[in-house]
Every structure is written in C-alpha cells, then in structure tokens.
Amino acid sequence: MTTHRYDFGGISVAITCDSHPLRQLLTLRYDAFRITKPATGDITWDIVYRLRDTRSLCPQELMDGRKQPMSSTRDGHRQYLSTPTFLLELDHRQRTGTLDGPLATFPIDRMIQAVWSATWEHGLIVHGAAFVDGNRGWLASGPSGSGKSTLAGLFPNEALCDELTAVRLDGIEPRLGALPFWHSRPGKAALCGVYMLRHGTRDQRRRLDPGEAFARLRKEVLWPTYDAEAMRRTFESLAELLAKVPIWELAFRPTQAVWPVISRDAA
C-alpha cells in the first residue's frame, strides 16, 4: 500500500491505494498538489481507495460515471455517498474514509467535493478561475465560454486554476484556494473580489448590487445537492460571501491590459 498526501484547497487529504495503475493516474492528475506532510493546524483526512474493478472504464462508461448523481445517507457520524459506479464511506469523527471505485480519477474528484463541503462550515466551491498577486486574490466566475480560461491563459503567472476554486469564510478574511480541476496548481490568497466575466469591447468593471450578484453567482456554485445540511451551509456561505466580498461584473478584451482593472482596489 502506498500513501500520498495532497493539499486540496486547504484540506490535507492522504490517499492510500495498492494499485500501480491507480497511482499513475493520481500522479498524472494531482501531483502538483502533493505535499510531504500537513502543515501545523491543517485539517487532515485519510482515504483508502479500494479498486472495485481493475480494468479501465471505456469512454462511454467514463462519461456515464462522471454524470451520475451522487446520493447520500447518514448513520451518526458515518456518511455513505454513492453512485452506481463508486461508494464513498466517510467517518466524520475520525476523518477517515474508504472509496470503492473503478480505475478512474472522477470518484476522487467527487470525494474532494464531499470532504471539502463536509469540513468547512463557512465555505463553498465556485465554478471559477483563481488569480493571485502576492497575498491578494481574485475569483473570476461565469458560465463556460465567459472567458475564465482565456483570462487564465493571459496571466499564467497569476492564475492558479481555471475551473473550480474553494472559498473559505471562517477566518479573519475570506480566502480562496486552488482545487485540482482541469488546469491548476496549488495556492491560496486573501479573496479581494469576485468578477462575473463577460467578453466586451473595452475593459471595465461594474459593482453588482447584492441581488444581482446573488442571481449571477448562485448559478456558478457547486451545490452539494446530495446532502441537505451541506446545501444549507453552502447557501448561508454564499450569503456571507456577498456580504464580505465585492462582486463585480468584468467586461474585458483578451489582452493583458485588463490586469490593472482586475487588481484595482475596491474603494
């Protein structure tokens, strides 16, 4: 059995498995997020991945497996999350779990979402790209095609990830953290603003009122629909995010001239 530890948006997750092909997949997909040991004070989870089937899934099975909705049942501090393709058992008291699944990474992607949502009472995962400059960070969100990946491509030194970003609200200041989805590398920063992207003929931002911000941002939140309590926490965290962080609409042309607009202070 081999154990590798990762930092997924501020949670230290150790994944243990005895399958060489699965370890290769983990290396390809998550190696940038690998850490040797958790930092002091980090919340840790230990997950054992047991291969249910050693063969790889065919493309159609892979697609079907990714789309299958997850269901959840609870028995005290134990939670059972399942799809027809995998079963994830979490012990919230011990912060341990087992994952029975096929030779694929999507069960781990879903595990990351479940563990993250279960761990942080004040936090949510947003469909958006994360950008950092020192300790200042910004989240650029919007539906597919709105420009998240374009913006990340313009600023490879500032972009952490271009798909899903973790937002924590439990500290003194809201913080963002990169998650290992699509193009990403680890990193975190204070969250200074959220941009709802659209392509435009010039670079400009417009502060959104809370109602409009909620209407736009709620469609880009990763809602843990499999768990009512996690959904309630996500809802309350979204309201908290709107109260603490300025939300802007950003119209931009695909040039680097947009960076001063993004990084401008809110005042």
Partner 1 sequence: MKYRRAKQTAWRTIGEETILLDLAEKRMLGLNPTAAFIWQTFETMTDVDAVVHALGAKNQRLDAEDQLSLTPAEVETFLEELVELGLVQRAEPTEPQRIAIDPPAELKPPRILWQETVEQVAATCAFFPAQNPLCSQVPFS
Q: Enumerate binding residues for partner 1 (CB under 8 A).
A: 63, 66-67, 69, 106, 109-110, 127, 143-145, 149-150, 152-153, 156, 159, 162-164, 181-183, 185, 209-212, 214, 218-225, 228, 231-232, 235-236, 239, 242
Q: Shortest distance, CB of residue 205 to partner 1, whole angstroms?
A: 19
**Residue 124: CB minimum distance to partner 1, A:** 11
The least CB distance from residue 188 to partner 1, in Å, is 17
Shortest Å distance, C-beta 264 to partner 1 = 23
Name which of 80 and 182 has its Cβ closer to partner 1.
Answer: 182
SS (H, E, C) the chain: CEEEEEEECCEEEEEEECCHHHHHHHHHHHHHHEECCCCCCCEEEEEEEEEEEEEECCHHHHHHHHHCCCEEEEECCEEEEECCCCEEEEECCCCEEEEEEEECCHHHHHHHHHHHHHHCCCEEEEEEEEEEECCEEEEEECCCCCCHHHHHHHCCCCEEECCEEEEECCCCCCEEEECCCCCECCCEEEEEEEEEEEECCCCEEEECCHHHHHHHHHHHECCCCCCHHHHHHHHHHHHHHHHHCCEEEEEECCCHHHHHHHCCCCC
Q: Are 173 and 226 in contact (CB under 8 A)?
A: no
Closest distance to partner 1 from the beta carbon of 157 (Å): 9
Kindly tell me which of 47 and 164 has the beta carbon lying closer to partner 1. Answer: 164
Q: Measured from the CB atom, is 110 or 175 closer to partner 1?
A: 110
When the beta carbons of 43 and 63 are compared against partner 1, the nearer one is: 63
Query: Which CB sits closer to partner 1, 95 or 164?
Result: 164
Q: Which is nearer to partner 1, 12 or 105 (CB)?
A: 105
In whole angstroms, the minimum distance from the beta carbon of 70 to partner 1 comes to 9
- What is the spatial distance between Cα 136 and Cα 264, in angstroms, rounded to a whole number? 11
